[in-house]
Amino acid sequence: MSISLKVRGDTESRNLEVHYLPAKINGNGSTDVSNYFSSYTREGQGNLLTNAIRGFPLNGEIVEVPTTHSSYVLQETEFSNTEKSRNIYVTGNFSNFYYWNYDKIPSNGDAYKQALYLFNISKEFSEPVSETDIQIEIENRRKI
């Protein structure tokens, strides 16, 4: 089974306003985000933002998507019953988003920030090793 990702021609698709909330919401659907949430965003010291959801205080900041990547919101429009070929389309993209923490100032200790190290590490890890390096390593090993 493979899923085809239709990104073609969507490089200049619409820009979305995206909030990354520290809450589990059991449900999908539309709601008046701008009226009930975004309009309550206040700017504090520095670039720190504050808001609240259901009375729980949120601390946040605007976070740029890593420069090596483009961020897309994907949507599977129709579920085919065959499951042999599925298509996923791009709804829109965003270059930055609101990153919210529950009652905690965003820092480099956050799981999201830590996860971004992955890009550096996996890049390093995926670099090919030259054959001479391997030979040197084997010879060094044999000496021991």
Site for other proteins (CB under 8 A): which residue of 42, 45, 122, 143?
122
CA dist 78 and 89 (Å) reads: 10
| Closer by beta carbon to other proteins, 48 or else 56 | 56
| Contact positions with other proteins (CB under 8 A) in 75-114 | 75-77, 79, 88, 91-92, 109, 111-112, 114
For residue 18, state whether it binds other proteins (rule: CB under 8 A): yes
Q: Which stretch binds other proteins (CB under 8 A): 42-50, 56-64, 131-139?
A: 131-139
CA dist 61 and 59 (Å) reads: 7
Q: Compute the least distance from the CB of residue 48 to other proteins, in Å.
A: 18
Catalogue the long-range contacts made by 68-75 (C-beta closer than 8 Å, 24 or more residues apart).
Answer: 68/119, 69/119, 70/95, 71/95, 71/97, 72/7, 72/10, 73/16, 73/18, 74/5
Question: Helix (H, G, I), strand (E, B), or coil: what is residue 136?
Answer: helix
CA dist 90 and 74 (Å) reads: 5
CA dist 1 and 92 (Å) reads: 25
Say if residues 56 and 102 touch (Cβ distance below 8 Å).
yes
Q: Compute the least distance from the CB of residue 59 to other proteins, in Å.
A: 15
For residue 64, state whether it binds other proteins (rule: CB under 8 A): no
Site for other proteins (CB under 8 A): which residue of 39, 44, 56, 66?
66
Q: By the criterion CB under 8 A, which residues form the site for other proteins?
A: 1-9, 11, 16-34, 37, 65-66, 68-77, 79, 88, 91-92, 109, 111-112, 114-115, 117-129, 131, 133-134, 137-138, 141
